[in-house]
Amino acid sequence: MKKYNVGLVGVGAVGSEMIKVLKERGFPCGKVQVFASRERDEKICGETYHVLKAGENSFAGMDIVLFAGKTDVAIELRDAVVKAGAKMIDNSRAFRQDPDVPLVVPQVNAEDLDWNKGVIANPNCTTAIMLEAVAPLHKAKKAKRIIASTYQAASGAGAPGLDELEGQIREYAEGRPLTVKAFQHRLLGNIIPHIDKFDETNWYTLEELKMRNESRKMLHAPDLMLSCMSVRIPVARAHSESLNIEFEEDITPEEAREILSKAEGVRVVDDPLAGAYPMPLDATGGYDVLAGRIRQDISRNDRKGLDMFVSGDQLLRGAALNAVEIAEHLVKRGLV
pLDDT tens-digit series, residues 227-278: 999 999 999 999 999 999 999 999 999 999 999 999 999 999 999 999 999 9
Q: Among residues 45, 125, 194, 220, which one is catalytic?
A: 125
CA distance 116 to 334: 12
H-state helical runs in the chain: 13-24, 71-83, 106-109, 125-141, 159-173, 206-219, 253-261, 280-283, 321-332
pLDDT tens readout for residues 202-217: 999 999 999 999 999 9
Residues 6+ apart with CB under 8 A from 170: none
Architecture in CATH of 4-122+319-332: 3-Layer(aba) Sandwich (3.40)
Quote the pLDDT of residue 205.
98
Quote the pLDDT of residue 153.
98
Nearest to 230 by CA among 102, 159, 129: 129
Nearest to 106 by CA among 291, 243, 213, 264: 264
The pTM of this model reads 0.96
CA distance 170 to 178: 9
Quote the pLDDT of residue 12.
84
CA distance 156 to 177: 24
Is residue 239 annotated as a catalytic residue, yes or no? yes
pLDDT tens readout for residues 60-119: 999 999 999 899 999 999 999 999 999 999 999 999 999 999 999 999 999 999 999 999
With cut-offs at 50, 70 and 90, classify the pLDDT of residue 122.
Answer: very high
With cut-offs at 50, 70 and 90, classify the pLDDT of residue 1.
Answer: confident
Q: Are 108 and 85 in contact (CB under 8 A)?
A: no
With cut-offs at 50, 70 and 90, classify the pLDDT of residue 49.
Answer: very high
Q: Kindly report the backbone phi and psi dihedral angles of residue 179, in degrees, each rounded to the nearest multiple of 5, phi listed first.
A: -80, 130
Region(s) of the chain under CATH 3.40.50.720: 4-122+319-332
Whole-number mean pLDDT of the chain? Answer: 97
Q: Among residues 29, 45, 220, 239, which one is catalytic?
A: 239
To which CATH superfamily is domain 127-314 assigned? Dihydrodipicolinate Reductase; domain 2 (3.30.360.10)
Is residue 185 annotated as a catalytic residue, yes or no? no
With cut-offs at 50, 70 and 90, classify the pLDDT of residue 185.
Answer: very high
pLDDT > 90? residue 31 = yes
CA dihedral 135, 331, 49, 23 (to 10 degrees): 60
Region(s) of the chain under CATH 3.30.360.10: 127-314
Residues 6+ apart with CB under 8 A from 121: 90, 94, 95, 96, 98, 101, 102, 103, 104
- In this prediction, residues 30-44 reach a mean pLDDT of 94
State what percent of residues in the chain have pLDDT above 70: 100
pLDDT > 90? residue 136 = yes
Percent of the chain as helix, strand, coil, to the nearest 5: 35, 25, 40
- In this prediction, residues 118-129 reach a mean pLDDT of 97
